[in-house]
Structure 1
């Protein structure tokens, strides 16, 4: 693979040979159309949300599109095969949110909730990447003045990426594809109000309707996402483009028997939404009854807010078997997954889950799929991931302490028998990154063919 350029400049295209014969000089290669892709999350960031735009950057040239990726500055080198422009975020406003992390939320009066919701809305609206908005907008305008782009795309979360794209779409009258990996403000139900605050959700919804007016097309990873976007923002045709799974990236990593019965989680946790409560409760119960699985089990957590995990572990009396590693780079996370006996998939387990999130398996399960380890997913009873695991045979599903205990026992028995890899359904073929890029290219082709600027 060729080198990735992390600065503004001319792009090298590894799929087009730089050497050519005299005869080939007379044949002009089809001209690539240029795409400006606004993606806050992009490698080397270890977030699962960085994978979707990374696949686009890598494979869109195969379909006639030359992407320039506008992303946030992040330590480490970007990947390869694309032109990347990184913009420094002026203030790390994500630190403001850490004060909300608590394992035992206290009861608040309506007045307190009102003030708290207003404060959250004002301090970091539309999200904790807001301080990236103006620098990214400035760089985007500079790029558009220097280079002719045929189209524009952005991927959310965070919503800030769409705000940047909107200004570019309006300023340069470019067709804009707005991609949603997750929803932002709606639909209006307790799920969103609990996690974002009622005032913020109302304000966000009003802004989002305004935000999407210049968008030429919307894309989303599931039918539930697409239906919600179409209904609440009056888009007649939201294109479903599923999340992809890149199995090839695992080929360079050796796989062997795990050294211990360790359960590994890599990802982000959210208070009152996605927590290890059910898992820790089950493990604590197994220890209390002296179950053999509890004697062997170890729990590894990789991700932000390690204090949140240790506080939960302390609440359940299992700090001696919980190992917290903090956020690591993607390669280290993949090695940790390969070294584990079981991979933990924590879905939105706490409180009321809305119909959209229930139908959203997310992208983490696809990241785990290539690791070659059984998955233990925890979520609400009717979550789509349960059907997916049953169909693919990638792992087991649990919705409460009792079912989690049963799943851990089953997985421990397999471990003791020397069975370390799931018996994946041979007919299951995940959606590939190149397929994802091809479907995005088809939408972009339609937008540019029809010369759709903005609605």
Structure 2
């Protein structure tokens, strides 16, 4: 097959949800449409995140399926039975307040809650989307037959929906793994649950015609484990989503060095503590460094800053729309990227990393030496790895002196070469065509002309 493809894209995240995953999938759908492919999107209705991302494809091409929160069920049952939400078997809601349960009872409730989640959140907490997604997907393909079902995860519930629709249509399944499943080191379940995850992962990925992932170390692992063709498609950055095509200029000289971070953190893993310790080590120069977090939970940041005595150097602001986030990155002196400095982090490349490269501002990496971000920063002269508190403090002094004299210059012109989203997403259609299942019409495809769009599809 050398012409256009009919692609059913299954993704929990999609614009206007303002998440890095929605940016990736929205731009992917936009790029495939621009190449002439017939793309329809199956996503979730009413995502629990800010709806501030600009539309990227016509809404008529998007089916939004309802879902329910499986973790809300215990609370609903308690309310229906007159129990007090949050307290299993508690007194009626109108009863007087009673002292909190002793330690053993709290531990028992916590254990019961964990068992419930591990038993019902299979493969994840979005399993309540699966029935609605399959129904909406079957309605979507009525009169329109995809050449391929392209399901992206996490959440991994999307892969289950994709597999069901692949079986329903006879179209081959391609699984996109933006993150790891059973081997995710950030998710250490009990052994029995891990065995279920591994079994389910084998059942799904073992039936895929191909796999797409976001880094070469992960691609090599998927090739070994599942024996499937694998393509690497990095998250990339929007070459046209910046403040124009002009060559970036140095930031203005001034007395304060501003370091920007966008997104969440994981204390103990993706953790700003080494940076805070380095700022404290600057002594009288510490107030001249300002670290600004956007969209980060203040409770995860301020106690760490206070512990190191640098609370005055730290500002935490709410999340901003994606376009504004890109502009903020390009105006920063330095951009902060955090990873877990553990070998299990190898191949894990945060989506914001490529946006940082596209912003052409130097990156301070707290993370794994020799990992993908560290290697790319070194190769492209785009930043440094803060290997110790002393090394970070020394680099901060260099940047401070530079900021006071001339401002911070942009990174080299080639820092982001090859990593625009357009360049990365151009790999998808050739990969789909390379799969032997796509060498001709998909099994069971009807020889029909163009189908109507989704004005009558369920939302």
1:353 is matched with which residue? Answer: 343
> Distance in 1 between the 2:38 and 2:228 partners?
28
2:93 is matched with which residue? Answer: none
> Distance in 2 between the 1:229 and 1:113 partners?
35
State the Cα distance separating 1:237 from its structure 2 match: 2.4
1:364 is matched with which residue? Answer: 352
Structure 2: any 5+ residue segments left out of the alignment?
75-85, 87-107, 445-459
Which entry has the higher C-alpha Rg, 1 or 2? 2
Listed one character per residue, the Cα deviations across residues 240-263 of structure 1 (whole Å, up to 9, x for unaligned) are: 333323222103499773574221
Range with greater deviation from structure 2 (246-255 or 127-136): 246-255
1:400 is matched with which residue? Answer: 388
> Distance in 1 between the 2:124 and 2:273 partners?
26
> Distance in 1 between the 2:15 and 2:406 partners?
35
State the Cα distance separating 1:411 from its structure 2 match: 2.0
Asked if the contact 2:262–2:296 (Cα under 8 Å) also holds between the matched residues in 1, the reply is no
State the Cα distance separating 1:116 from its structure 2 match: 7.6
> Distance in 2 between the 1:453 and 1:393 partners?
49
Partner residue of 2:177 out of 171, 176, 180: 180
> Distance in 2 between the 1:201 and 1:113 partners?
20
> Distance in 2 between the 1:199 and 1:277 partners?
34
Asked if the contact 1:177–1:218 (Cα under 8 Å) also holds between the matched residues in 2, the reply is yes
Partner residue of 1:324 out of 316, 324, 347: 316
Scaled by the length of structure 1, what TM-score is found? 0.77
> Distance in 2 between the 1:93 and 1:401 partners?
41
> Distance in 2 between the 1:332 and 1:228 partners?
36
State the Cα distance separating 1:161 from its structure 2 match: 1.5
Partner residue of 2:293 out of 281, 294, 301: 301
What are the residue-to-residue correspondences of 1:34-113 with 2, within 5 Å? Answer: 34-72=6-44, 73-74=46-47, 75-76=51-52, 78-82=54-58, 83-91=61-69
Scaled by the length of structure 2, what TM-score is found? 0.77
> Distance in 2 between the 1:406 and 1:131 partners?
50
2:306 is matched with which residue? Answer: 314
State the Cα distance separating 1:216 from its structure 2 match: 1.2
State the Cα distance separating 1:271 from its structure 2 match: 4.2
State the Cα distance separating 1:115 from its structure 2 match: 7.1
- Please list every run of at least 4 consecutive aligned residues from structure 1 whose deviation after the TM superposition is greater than 4 angstroms: 111-117, 196-199, 252-256, 450-454
State the Cα distance separating 1:452 from its structure 2 match: 6.3
1:224 is matched with which residue? Answer: 217
1:339 is matched with which residue? Answer: 331
Partner residue of 2:407 out of 401, 412, 419: 419
1:375 is matched with which residue? Answer: 363
> Distance in 2 between the 1:243 and 1:77 partners?
17
1:104 is matched with which residue? Answer: none
Asked if 1:241 is matched to 2:233, the reply is yes
**Structure 2 CA distance for partners of 1:400 and 1:45, relative to 1, 3 Å:** farther
> Distance in 2 between the 1:364 and 1:302 partners?
12
State the Cα distance separating 1:322 from its structure 2 match: 1.6
Asked if 1:274 is matched to 2:277, the reply is no
1:209 is matched with which residue? Answer: 202
2:453 is matched with which residue? Answer: none
Asked if the contact 1:393–1:422 (Cα under 8 Å) also holds between the matched residues in 2, the reply is no
Asked if the contact 1:345–1:376 (Cα under 8 Å) also holds between the matched residues in 2, the reply is yes
State the Cα distance separating 1:334 from its structure 2 match: 1.9
**Structure 2 CA distance for partners of 1:135 and 1:427, relative to 1, 3 Å:** closer
Listed one character per residue, the Cα deviations across residues 30-88 of structure 1 (whole Å, up to 9, x for unaligned) are: 98432110122233333222333223211213444211122233424642344333334
> Distance in 1 between the 2:309 and 2:138 partners?
54
> Distance in 1 between the 2:18 and 2:140 partners?
26
Structure 1: any 5+ residue segments left out of the alignment?
1-29, 100-110
> Distance in 2 between the 1:246 and 1:412 partners?
29
Q: Which SS does the other structure have where 1:43 is aligned?
A: coil
Listed one character per residue, the Cα deviations across residues 313-354 of structure 1 (whole Å, up to 9, x for unaligned) are: 2333332322111322212222322332211011124xx431
**Structure 2 CA distance for partners of 1:348 and 1:418, relative to 1, 3 Å:** same
1:20 is matched with which residue? Answer: none
> Distance in 1 between the 2:245 and 2:289 partners?
24
